[in-house]
Structure 1
């Protein structure tokens, strides 16, 4: 069984793509608690957008958006060579692992800390002024741990729901476009499916996490959703050359004959 996986290039490729798919999705969930300013990170002036009566909107994004575009590129690659069943298998596996990870984090947050640990981030070798500067930012390491990793239930539910809905829509749009275009227009089926699924994803997560879970107004949810989608739209377009590069590397690794057989089987088996 192991030899069949190790020695078979198609199986090894699935493990490789699936591993990066799951890792990117998990990491995106955990780093997503941080909201960063895209403009300040790029040292440019913040934009001031206005949608649905909400003014002064800028690209303040969850850090998870750094990785989600790559998840959807991997989705399209897996869809291309292993069909919708391969994508759905990894998507539901990933969702289950995210739930498991949050359950373990929740358990870790509620473990009683060792007496020394809440202050363990303070180095005794530092001067009193340096120690005071640290405690002014983080006085209790255990509290900070829970604050960072203890995402609200509605955020977790919204994120998971948006992920699964986005994946299913991505698969459906990808296969529908491929049905009409065949092997032509890789960019159309890959980028097109990503743009549609990311549009849905952008609003589902905000609607569940903040409209339902935090009583945000609908106008604010829609306005922030549009800003998020503008970023995702730009990234999807920018990653199109990466998609072609990945296709070229996979074709070279598998060989054109095996790659063609896999794509045909993926298309017929969906």
Structure 2
């Protein structure tokens, strides 16, 4: 049986599971980077009156980056891979995702540099976009500071996440799955949420004031933590589904190897 798996690795359910988890992780990470350029107002999106919050002197609607919509899925993928494939698995997909993000931004800049067809530049004028090329460049270009901030925050956050996850796992054993998942997210995203905005919008050309930086970073961190806690039941459901898919013995073997 082992010889057959060695010659046909895709027959191994653990291998197929890792590929699926890694694919969802990387897809969500890359999408989050590209849509993260948009800042949206929560109350307006929900059709509610602005809450007129006052945080660090900033008032108005609650503002978040659109990329925060996808990060809860990234958390679930990270914690699940941590649980069954350990440090090496998370580090591998983290560097893979970082490489794919760089690859995506590289070709976004290549696409921006291509000379636009004359008719295409005005193709969306009826929708209120007089210069499609300028809009395309503004959305997909995002600026080197934003790209640098995103990549640094992503890689540092993921490496810290895996370290904290296994520190808690070592202390608690196989108990308290929720604690190591939420605890590692709390520490890693505290750094991620503040680093990316600091590099992109404070050190970058926009030069955000400290009050705006603290307000937006704090809101984004609070959002991520709220969803990290809300998704704890999903984490347990995924764990149960994976054990059912792999079989109890194979799942136990993977978790023991991951914790080693």
Q: Same fold (TM over 0.5)?
A: yes
SS in 2 for 1:113: coil
Residues in 1 aligned to 2:6 and 2:41: alpha-carbon distance in whole angstroms: 46
2:71 to 50, 68, 73: 68
2:179 to 181, 184, 188: 188
Residues in 2 aligned to 1:2 and 1:33: alpha-carbon distance in whole angstroms: 44
Deviations 1:25-51 (A, max 9, x none): 011111112211112222233223333
What residue is the counterpart of 1:56 in the other structure?
A: 59
What residue is the counterpart of 1:244 in the other structure?
A: 236
Deviations 1:74-96 (A, max 9, x none): 00100110101110111011101
Which region of structure 1 is more displaced relative to structure 2, 43-52 or 209-218?
Answer: 43-52
Q: Give the Å deviation of 1:57.
A: 4.9
Residues in 2 aligned to 1:220 and 1:169: alpha-carbon distance in whole angstroms: 26
1:84 aligns with 2:57: no
* Structure 1 contact 157–208 (Cα < 8 Å) conserved: yes
Q: Give the Å deviation of 1:206.
A: 1.2
1:6 aligns with 2:41: no
Map of 1:28-43 to 2, 5 A cutoff? 28-43=32-47
* Structure 2 contact 58–211 (Cα < 8 Å) conserved: no
Map of 1:154-193 to 2, 5 A cutoff? 154-193=145-184
Residues in 1 aligned to 2:172 and 2:252: alpha-carbon distance in whole angstroms: 15
Runs of 4+ aligned structure 1 residues displaced above 3 Å come to: none
* Structure 2 contact 81–90 (Cα < 8 Å) conserved: yes
* Structure 1 contact 58–227 (Cα < 8 Å) conserved: no
When normalised by structure 1's length, the TM-score is 0.90
Q: Give the Å deviation of 1:142.
A: 1.8
2:194 to 203, 226, 233: 203
SS in 2 for 1:61: strand
SS in 1 for 2:115: coil
What residue is the counterpart of 1:221 in the other structure?
A: 213
Deviations 1:115-139 (A, max 9, x none): 32112346xxxxxxxx4xx3xx111
Residues in 2 aligned to 1:44 and 1:180: alpha-carbon distance in whole angstroms: 45
* Structure 2 contact 80–239 (Cα < 8 Å) conserved: yes
Deviations 1:193-231 (A, max 9, x none): 112111111111111111211322223212221111111
Map of 1:133-152 to 2, 5 A cutoff? 134=127, 137-152=128-143
When normalised by structure 2's length, the TM-score is 0.93
* Structure 1 contact 165–201 (Cα < 8 Å) conserved: yes
* Structure 1 contact 109–150 (Cα < 8 Å) conserved: yes
1:230 aligns with 2:222: yes
SS in 1 for 2:186: helix
What stretches of structure 1 of length at least 5 have no aligned partner? 123-130
* Structure 1 contact 84–171 (Cα < 8 Å) conserved: yes
SS in 2 for 1:44: coil
What stretches of structure 2 of length at least 5 have no aligned partner? none
Number of residue pairs the alignment of both structures matches = 255
